[in-house]
């Protein structure tokens, strides 16, 4: 029998964030087996306990969906012998979770974690053209010529396909004195080290890279590095309908 904290179970079911769920419990919105729940840390069974929210049954999904604010130093894989994986940051009893795509070991930001292989495949399919947006600090002054080059597609030396698909590059700030730029870049692929190689192709070097959006999902301001939470029902619906 699988036992979970009530607040975690409700968050995993998409009722809200852990803090929102705790507020719902305090307000008397949650019942367990017909009795008002008073504490968020009580253990409940996913198999035998009947849980309601505003009188409606809470439906537990066969799939789990998380958003993680990935810190540097973690590998986007299920197993690795050289560094900790992103799955070590996820609180779940599931053994079949995996990251949707990958972020480089030194890249931070939004990473989706799930066990829904069908949704993951659709999100990562090149035919779906799902946007992935990054914030980057670049050594060098990014110019309007670079914007045009990214829009036209860049040769990045990939053995299978030498040209990266067109990308949207937006200059946020340039500093001629310190020789750096801050930019946003949106791509629709996920080639190995792609963003770094695109800037190398125009003679510049990335010093910091953070993914801030994946399709319709943006990195929450209140999700600290290393923290994660379950996707809300609204976020999950947005992901499912974008592909």
Domain-by-domain residue ranges, the chain? 3-57, 65-126+216-242, 131-214
Q: What percent of the chain has pLDDT over 70?
A: 96
pLDDT at 61: 67
Question: Which two three-digit tokens encode residue 227?
Answer: 């923290």
pLDDT at 107: 97
pLDDT at 190: 83
> What distance in Å separates the CA atoms of residue 156 and residue 153, rounded to the nearest whole number?
9
> Helix 117-124 vs helix 233-242: angle between axes, to the nearest 10 degrees?
50
Positive or negative, the CA dihedral 179, 182, 188, 189 is positive
Q: CATH assignment of 65-126+216-242? A: 3.30.70.580
pLDDT at 160: 54
pLDDT at 161: 55
Question: Which two three-digit tokens encode residue 134?
Answer: 């990054």
3-57 shares its CATH topology with 65-126+216-242: no
Flag whether pLDDT at 210 surpasses 90: yes
Fold held by 3-57: 3.10.290
pLDDT at 158: 55
Catalytic-role residue among 104, 106, 116, 146: 104
Flag whether pLDDT at 18 surpasses 90: no
Q: 76-82 contacts: CB < 8 A, separation 24 or more?
A: 76/101, 76/102, 76/103, 76/104, 76/105, 76/111, 77/102
Higher-pLDDT residue of 47, 133: 133
Higher-pLDDT residue of 31, 62: 31
pLDDT at 200: 94
169 φ, ψ (degrees, to nearest 5): -115, 125
Flag whether pLDDT at 14 surpasses 80: no
Q: Are strands 51-53 and 56-57 parallel, antiparallel or unpaired?
A: antiparallel
Which class is domain 131-214? Answer: alpha beta
> What distance in Å separates the CA atoms of residue 57 and residue 63, rounded to the nearest whole number?
18
Question: Which two three-digit tokens encode residue 216?
Answer: 């319709």
What SS3 string covers the chain? CCEEEHHHHHHHCCCCCHHHHHHHHHCCCEEECCEECCCCCCEEECCCCCEEECCEECCCCCCCEEEEEECCCCECCCCCCCCCEHHHHCCCCCCCCEECCCCCCCCEEEEEEECCHHHHHHHHCHHHCCCEEEEEEEECCCCHHHHHHHHHCCECCCCCCCECCCCEEEEEEEECCCCEEEEEEEECCCCCCHHHHHHHHCCCEEEEEEEEEECCEECCCCCCCCCEEECCHHHHHHHHHHC
Is 106 in the active site?
no
Which of the four pLDDT bands, split at 50, 70 and 90, describes residue 141?
very high
pLDDT at 11: 81
> What distance in Å separates the CA atoms of residue 192 and residue 103, rounded to the nearest whole number?
9
Contact 36, 28 (CB under 8 A): yes
pLDDT digits (tens, 9 = 90+) for 56-88: 888 766 788 999 999 999 999 999 999 999 999
Higher-pLDDT residue of 14, 127: 127
Which of the four pLDDT bands, split at 50, 70 and 90, describes residue 213?
very high
Residues 6+ apart with CB under 8 A from 43: 3, 4, 5, 6
pLDDT digits (tens, 9 = 90+) for 150-185: 999 998 875 555 788 899 999 999 999 999 999 999
Q: What percent of the chain has pLDDT over 90?
A: 72
Contact 239, 231 (CB under 8 A): yes
Least confident residue range of 99-113, 145-159, 202-216:
145-159
């Amino acid at each position: 029998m699988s036992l979970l904290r009530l607040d975690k179970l409700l968050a995993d079911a998409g009722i809200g964030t852990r803090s929102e769920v705790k507020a719902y419990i305090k307000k008397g919105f949650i019942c367990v087996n017909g009795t008002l729940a008073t504490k968020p840390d009580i253990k409940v069974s996913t198999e035998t306990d009947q849980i309601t929210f505003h009188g409606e049954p809470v439906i537990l999904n066969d799939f789990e969906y998380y958003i993680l604010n990935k810190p540097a130093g973690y590998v986007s894989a299920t197993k690795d012998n050289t560094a900790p994986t992103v799955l070590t940051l996820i609180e779940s009893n599931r053994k079949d979770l995996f990251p949707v795509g990958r972020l480089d070991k030194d890249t931070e930001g939004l990473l989706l974690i799930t066990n829904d292989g069908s949704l993951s495949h659709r999100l990562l399919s090149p035919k779906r053209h799902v946007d992935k947006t990054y914030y980057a600090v670049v050594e060098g002054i990014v110019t309007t010529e670079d914007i045009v080059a990214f829009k036209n597609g860049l040769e990045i030396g990939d053995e299978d396909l030498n040209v990266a698909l067109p990308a949207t590059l937006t200059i946020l700030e340039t500093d001629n004195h310190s020789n750096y730029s801050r930019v946003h870049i949106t791509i629709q692929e996920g080639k190995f080290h792609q963003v770094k190689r695109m800037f190398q192709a125009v003679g510049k070097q990335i010093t910091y890279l953070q993914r801030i959006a994946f399709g319709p999902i943006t990195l929450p301001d209140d999700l600290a590095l290393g923290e994660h939470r379950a996707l809300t029902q609204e976020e999950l619906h947005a992901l499912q309908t974008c592909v």
